């Protein structure tokens, strides 16, 4: 049999053998998937929050990576991120609609909503700790000062959250701090409106991600009383963690990219390859780090593992402090 095959190859013209080799090389070097029309980067929250700068920078970097193909940021807000997520799930799974979500969506799964099961995670892009912030008129500099104020405040002190995740962490914190029945909760439909009320003195404290409040912190209109990381955040070395202040509460906020679960492997891999390529883009990194966040760019497997581990923390909190998720 082997001798017969050798004879067959010996009779083939050289140009034919060369063509076979070249075609095999071309197959092995097949280019990564590229979009063939404008790509929608859907942000399921209102403009004005911490997602704006990141989404714009991501769209520019991805467009350049894809040879100038437009990547258009679409803010599709409503129902705490559900409406925009549903839009992505209804879109054809052809790579031309990408979702940029936050860990808010993990609460959907904990509440029995199966949207998470219909998405495939591409990469966690950045993370920034949840902050506990007041406007500059507040007569205190740490979270213990806030607790002391709330125990005597008339009218009652208040705290605002703009996501269900912030509400969950806030309820946990108020309970741990003994303020469950003293501090009034003010829910918001977006970080922008919450920040406006916080800066205007309509609420005592807000729970934005550090990255969302940073511009106001830098211009002196906002003070951070604490951050939700286990160790001090390197962008704010002088701000205490809640655990340092004696309150065992953790809160971290991240942005990640995902697509419908039925997206074909070649398209999914092509998007991930593009994201991996832009992870070293200087302008994108400057946007992330300049916004008091840390770049992550985890691969799909690592992102999935991190989400699984985070769910182990969130599920018991959801059971103890129910947060309505539509």
pTM comes to 0.80
Q: Which residue has the tokens 């990408």?
A: 98
CATH number of the domain at 131-227, please?
A: 3.40.190.10
Taking only the tens of pLDDT, the chain with its 326 residues reads 445 444 444 554 544 444 444 444 444 455 689 999 999 999 998 886 668 889 999 999 999 999 999 999 999 988 878 899 999 999 999 999 999 999 888 888 766 677 888 999 999 999 989 999 999 999 999 999 999 999 999 999 999 998 889 999 999 999 999 999 999 999 998 788 999 999 999 999 999 989 888 889 999 999 999 999 888 998 899 999 999 999 999 999 899 999 999 999 999 999 999 999 999 999 999 999 988 889 999 999 999 999 999 999 899 999 999 876 54
Please list, in sequence order, all residues whose beta carbon lies within 8 angstroms of the beta carbon of residue 108, skipping any fewer than 6 positions away. 82, 115, 116, 325
Q: Where are the domains of the chain?
A: 39-127+253-320, 131-227
Contact 223, 133 (CB under 8 A): yes
Left (φ > 0), alpha (ψ -120 to 50) or beta: where does 81 sit? left
Q: Where are the alpha helices (DSSP H) in 151-190?
A: 164-176
Task: Looking at the structure, give the CATH architecture of the domain made up of residues 39-127+253-320.
Answer: 3-Layer(aba) Sandwich (3.40)
For the chain, the maximum distance between any two Cα atoms, rounded to a whole number of angstroms, is 98
CA–CA dist 101, 53 (Å, integer) = 14
Measuring CA to CA, which residue among 216, 247, 209 is closest to residue 103? 209
In 3-state terms, what secondary structure has residue 307?
helix
Tell me if domain 39-127+253-320 and domain 131-227 are identical in fold.
Answer: yes
């Amino acid at each position: 049999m082997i001798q017969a095959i050798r004879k067959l190859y010996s009779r083939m013209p050289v140009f034919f053998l060369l063509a076979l080799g070249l075609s095999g090389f071309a197959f092995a070097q097949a280019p990564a998937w590229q979009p063939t029309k404008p790509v929608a980067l859907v942000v399921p929250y209102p403009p004005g929050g911490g997602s704006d700068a990141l989404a714009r920078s991501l769209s520019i970097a991805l467009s350049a990576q894809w040879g100038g193909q437009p990547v258009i940021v679409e803010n599709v807000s409503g129902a705490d991120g559900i409406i925009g997520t549903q839009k992505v799930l209804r879109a054809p799974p052809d790579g031309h609609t990408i979702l940029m979500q936050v860990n808010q969506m993990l609460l959907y799964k904990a509440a029995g909503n199966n949207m998470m099961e219909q998405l495939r995670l591409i990469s966690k892009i950045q993370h920034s700790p949840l902050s506990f912030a007041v406007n500059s008129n507040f007569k205190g500099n740490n979270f213990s000062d806030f607790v002391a104020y709330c125990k005597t405040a008339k009218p009652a002190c208040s705290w605002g959250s703009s996501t269900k995740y912030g509400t969950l962490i806030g309820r946990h914190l108020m309970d741990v701090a003994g303020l469950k029945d003293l501090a009034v909760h003010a829910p918001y439909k977006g970080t922008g409106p919450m920040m406006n009320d916080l800066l205007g003195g309509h609420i005592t404290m807000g729970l934005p991600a550090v990255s969302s409040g940073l511009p106001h912190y830098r211009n002196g209109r906002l003070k951070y009383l604490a951050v939700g990381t286990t160790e001090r955040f390197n962008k704010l070395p002088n701000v205490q963690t809640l655990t340092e202040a004696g309150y065992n509460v953790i809160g971290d906020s991240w942005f990640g990219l995902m697509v419908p679960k039925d997206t074909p492997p070649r398209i999914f891999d092509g998007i991930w390859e593009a994201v991996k390529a832009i992870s070293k883009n200087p302008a994108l990194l400057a946007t992330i780090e300049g916004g008091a966040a840390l770049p992550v760019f985890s691969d799909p497997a690592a992102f999935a593992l991190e989400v699984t581990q985070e769910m182990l923390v969130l599920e018991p909190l959801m059971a103890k402090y129910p947060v309505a998720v539509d």
